[in-house]
Amino acid sequence: MSKTYNVCVVGVGAVGAEMVRLLRRRHFPVKSLTILARRERVETIDGVEYPVKPAAPEAFDGMDFAFFAGTEGAKGASQTLGWEAVRRGCIVIDNGDDFRMDPRVPLVVPEINPDALKNHQGFIANPNCSTIIALMALAPIHRAVGLRRIIACTYQAVSGTGAPAIVELDRQVRAWAAKEPLTVEVYPKQIAFNVLPQIGSAKDPSGQTTEEMKLRRETHKILGDDSIRVSATCVRVPVFNGHSEALHVETRNPISPEEARALLAQAPGVTLMDDVANGVFPTPIECSGRYETLVGRLRRDEALDNGLAMFVCGDNIWKGAAQNAIQIAELLIA
């Protein structure tokens, strides 16, 4: 019989629930599945009731894998329990951002930098969702001709904030349709029929938000090249699920849109949707619930030397979070 593993998921919000779904959908070799959270209760996912146990150090005894299910920018559980789980013999794969830039911790997208898992110390980090989705399209181009500059504008779905933000968008749309007052709780301003050009905090003197800084720092770590210049504007949009990004890049060596299409057509985890004349291009609705990152609108960018522009979409809760974490575990098993 093939080996099976004791698995726990820490947190059962938007990302944690999808981790549970994807472990089943991807036929991960689970011997036992334990869900941990702040308090004991029962959660129902797809009609199946799961007992939730309080997260505590002893809960990791006997576990093989622990998936920490933080959402965008989430801090907390892995900060207090992550390394303790490692000390108890568990491999931690963390979706939060506490340890992404820690030199002890590899930051991994399996299709891009699987070699980063060599000599890991039991703790592995998932990159931020917007970084993963961008680099799925850009890493093949970087390997071929090198990247000098990335200018990214992201259009990020509310699911990245978590389940309460999904509820808020739904409630605001229903209130608008009923001609009732719209209430604001999760975001600083109304999100329905609006866009918010702030994701994360904006305490840096440069004016960048934490989300924008993550895209730069994580790109450098994953691609192993600190010389790439990265400029990002990250925007929250009234979309339930699926992040979109307009990417404008300057390459070190020339590459035509036709050559880029050929590269991306062969790239693992990428689906090319690039026939704008016939209405074929990525949208967040089409990427939601898909494993692949969708890439289209490939064209020259005349404003940059060796410039290339594209539009990418990816499921931020799947490839941008839960799926990528499970793929890391699958790669370790393989």
- For the chain, domains (ranges, CATH) are 5-126+321-333 (3.40.50.720), 131-316 (3.30.360.10)
pLDDT at 77: 86
Q: Which residues of 132-143 are buried (b: 16+ CB within 10 A; e: fewer)?
A: bbbbbbbbbbbe
Q: Where are the beta strands (DSSP E) in the chain?
A: 5-10, 30-37, 41-45, 48-54, 65-68, 91-94, 123-125, 147-156, 229-236, 243-251, 270-272, 293-300, 307-314
Catalytic residue selected from 8, 129, 287, 313: 129
Q: How many CB atoms lie within 10 A of CB 53?
A: 15
pLDDT at 71: 58
Q: How high does pLDDT run on average in the chain?
A: 96
**pLDDT tens sequence across 215-263:** 999 999 999 999 999 999 999 999 999 999 999 999 999 999 999 999 9
**pLDDT tens sequence across 129-183:** 999 999 999 999 999 999 999 999 999 999 999 999 999 999 999 999 999 999 9
**pLDDT tens sequence across 36-85:** 998 999 999 999 999 999 999 999 999 999 999 975 444 578 999 999 99
Q: Is 243 a catalytic residue?
A: yes
Q: Is 234 a catalytic residue?
A: no
Q: Quick one: average pLDDT of 114-129?
A: 97
Catalytic residue selected from 90, 243, 287, 313: 243
